[in-house]
């Protein structure tokens, strides 16, 4: 991958809401911090207030001319959050369609029946595979059910350093048993929290694997949905522009944006305790708390990134540019 000049929006006036809806998970992966699974925050006691505050946030952006929204739900395991369905239904009521999107990051541990009943609420699904905990047959059955129903269905295989070969074999199984697939072989971090550094695999062959297997995909049967929309595009040094490949940016070490101008007003991150913050990386100000019904409409437009590296795919999609190209994204 060439060096990057800037990350640009693929469509005008869109806002990303990245919501870590809970910090409880039924998995206990060794590379994951208990911040993400211990369930310390009880944030679903007043679902009506949460839904009302979400509506205020979206109407604020709509009044500023923003047309499209991407709501991306993660956890913990978000499918166990009690407020999930009413929140998604309210979002779908307010957002502009087509063009907006609901995405969810899940471990596919819910029964297949749950996906039969609720898959229509989500345009994008990222299904993470965790070698220590995932049930392979159940995962494959769910993936096969959804493979012709989603604009974006991605298997994100978390490449545990002690189970690397098992992870590679599971990716091969998806390729052999599914007609449509997108697989991201994702290098794991030592702990999944904003301050982490990329995990370094000691064996050279593992690092080489990522160079040629960042993302693989195939579509053999029609998808019965409207075509999906790219949310961002990458502007390279030779002036070519391509849809963003977030996993490729990580695996090829291009996620170092320190000193770049980053338009953090395009993205909100909602923490499990309800705090609303600009961007997921932690550099933006706190602008409210969705559990308490608080939202401050005075926000920062952009920041010169102080972080050594960008760890979150949602933040990659925020418009950003090297200093010499900053004027072109203001």
Q: What mean pLDDT comes out for the span 184-193?
A: 72
Query: Does the pLDDT at position 213 exceed 90?
Result: no
Cα 300 to Cα 288: distance, rounded to the nearest angstrom: 13
Task: Say what the pLDDT of residue 195 is.
Answer: 46
Element (H, E) at 48: helix 47-63
Does residue 155 lie in a domain region?
A: yes
Q: What mean pLDDT comes out for the span 34-57?
A: 88
pLDDT band at 269; cut points 50, 70, 90? very high
Does residue 222 lie in a domain region?
A: yes
Give the C-alpha distances (Å, rounded to integers) separating 328 from 65, 156, 161.
20, 33, 41
**Radius of gyration of the chain, Cα coordinates, nearest whole angstrom:** 19
Output 104 or 246, whichever has higher pLDDT. 104
pLDDT band at 172; cut points 50, 70, 90? very high
Q: What is the pLDDT of residues 14-33, one digit of tens each?
A: 899 999 999 999 999 988 88
Does residue 85 lie in a domain region?
A: yes
Output 248 or 145, whichever has higher pLDDT. 145
Does residue 27 lie in a domain region?
A: yes
Angle between helices 47-63 and 84-94 (to 10 degrees): 20
Q: What mean pLDDT comes out for the span 70-91?
A: 94
Does residue 259 lie in a domain region?
A: no
- Residue 105: name the closest of 50, 58, 36 by CA: 36
Residue 59 structure tokens = 């109407």
Task: Say what the pLDDT of residue 149 is.
Answer: 94
Q: What is the CATH number of the domain that holds 29?
A: 3.20.20.70
Task: Say what the pLDDT of residue 259 is.
Answer: 96
Q: What mean pLDDT comes out for the span 237-242?
A: 92
Element (H, E) at 306: none
Bridge-based pairing state of the strands 267-270 and 275-278: antiparallel
Does residue 243 lie in a domain region?
A: no
Contact 140, 177 (CB under 8 A): yes
Query: Does the pLDDT at position 198 exceed 70?
Result: no
Give the C-alpha distances (Å, rounded to integers) separating 233 from 86, 118, 245.
32, 30, 8
Cα 113 to Cα 102: distance, rounded to the nearest angstrom: 20
Cα 223 to Cα 47: distance, rounded to the nearest angstrom: 34
Q: What is the pLDDT of residues 87-114, one digit of tens each?
A: 999 999 988 888 899 999 999 999 999 9
Domain interval for residue 294: 11-231+264-303
Cα 71 to Cα 193: distance, rounded to the nearest angstrom: 20
Does residue 281 lie in a domain region?
A: yes
The overall average pLDDT reported for the chain is 89
Residue 34 structure tokens = 């208990």
Query: Does the pLDDT at position 171 exceed 60?
Result: yes
- What φ, ψ does residue 105 adopt, rounded to 5°? -105, 115
What domain count does the chain have? 1
Omega before residue 76 within 30° of 0, cis: yes
pLDDT band at 2; cut points 50, 70, 90? confident
Task: Say what the pLDDT of residue 197 is.
Answer: 52
Task: Say what the pLDDT of residue 230 is.
Answer: 64
Contact 260, 320 (CB under 8 A): yes
Task: Say what the pLDDT of residue 67 is.
Answer: 84
Output 183 or 219, whichever has higher pLDDT. 183
Query: Does the pLDDT at position 196 exceed 80?
Result: no
Q: What mean pLDDT comes out for the span 257-261?
A: 95
Query: Does the pLDDT at position 208 exceed 60?
Result: yes
Cα 169 to Cα 237: distance, rounded to the nearest angstrom: 36
b/e map of 293-308 (b: 16 or more CB within 10 Å)?
eebeeebeebbebebe
Cα 178 to Cα 175: distance, rounded to the nearest angstrom: 6
- Residue 134: name the closest of 104, 103, 174 by CA: 174
Query: Does the pLDDT at position 192 exceed 70?
Result: no
Q: What mean pLDDT comes out for the span 172-198?
A: 79
Q: What is the pLDDT of residues 119-163, one digit of tens each?
A: 999 999 999 999 999 999 999 999 999 999 998 899 999 999 999
Task: Say what the pLDDT of residue 25 is.
Answer: 96
Q: Is 44 exposed, middle or buried (0-12, 13-18, 19+ CB in 10 A)?
A: middle
- Residue 67: name the closest of 102, 97, 103, 90 by CA: 97
Q: What mean pLDDT comes out for the span 35-57?
A: 88
Separation of first and last alpha carbons in the chain: 26
Does residue 287 lie in a domain region?
A: yes
Bridge-based pairing state of the strands 101-106 and 68-74: parallel
Task: Say what the pLDDT of residue 249 is.
Answer: 85
| Residue 288, strand partner residues | 276, 295
Task: Say what the pLDDT of residue 199 is.
Answer: 59
Contact 41, 273 (CB under 8 A): yes
Classified as helix, coil or strand, 296 is: coil
Task: Say what the pLDDT of residue 227 is.
Answer: 47
Task: Say what the pLDDT of residue 228 is.
Answer: 52
- What φ, ψ does residue 189 adopt, rounded to 5°? -95, 160
């Amino acid at each position: 991958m060439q060096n990057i000049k800037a990350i640009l929006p693929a469509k005008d006036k869109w806002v990303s809401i990245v919501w870590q809806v809970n910090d409880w998970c039924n998995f206990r992966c060794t590379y994951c911090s208990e911040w993400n699974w211990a369930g310390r925050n009880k944030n679903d006691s007043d679902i009506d207030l949460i839904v009302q505050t979400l509506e205020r946030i979206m109407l604020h952006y709509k009044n500023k001319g923003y047309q499209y929204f991407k709501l991306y739900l993660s956890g913990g395991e978000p499918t166990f959050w009690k407020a999930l369905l009413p929140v998604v239904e309210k979002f779908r009521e307010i957002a502009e369609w087509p063009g907006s999107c609901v995405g969810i990051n899940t471990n596919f541990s819910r029964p297949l029946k749950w996906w039969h009943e609720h898959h229509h609420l989500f345009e994008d699904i990222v299904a993470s595979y965790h070698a220590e905990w995932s049930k392979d047959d159940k995962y494959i059955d769910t993936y096969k059910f959804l493979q012709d129903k989603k604009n974006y269905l991605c298997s994100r295989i978390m490449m545990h350093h002690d189970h690397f070969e098992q992870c590679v074999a599971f990716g091969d199984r998806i390729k052999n048993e599914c007609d449509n697939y997108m697989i991201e072989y994702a290098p794991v971090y030592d702990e999944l929290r904003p301050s982490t550094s990329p995990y370094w695999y000691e064996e050279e062959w593992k690092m080489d694997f990522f160079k040629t297997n960042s993302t693989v995909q195939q579509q053999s049967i029609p998808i019965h949905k409207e075509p999906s929309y790219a949310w961002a595009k990458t502007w390279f040094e030779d002036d070519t522009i391509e849809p963003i490949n977030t996993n490729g940016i990580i695996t090829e070490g291009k996620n170092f944006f320190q000193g770049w101008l980053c338009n953090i007003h395009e993205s909100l991150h909602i923490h499990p305790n309800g705090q609303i913050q600009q961007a997921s990386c932690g550099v933006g100000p706190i602008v409210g708390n969705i559990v308490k019904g608080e939202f401050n409409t005075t926000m920062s437009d952009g920041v010169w990134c102080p972080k050594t590296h960008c760890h979150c795919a949602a933040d990659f999609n925020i418009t950003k540019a090297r200093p010499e190209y900053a004027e072109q994204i203001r």
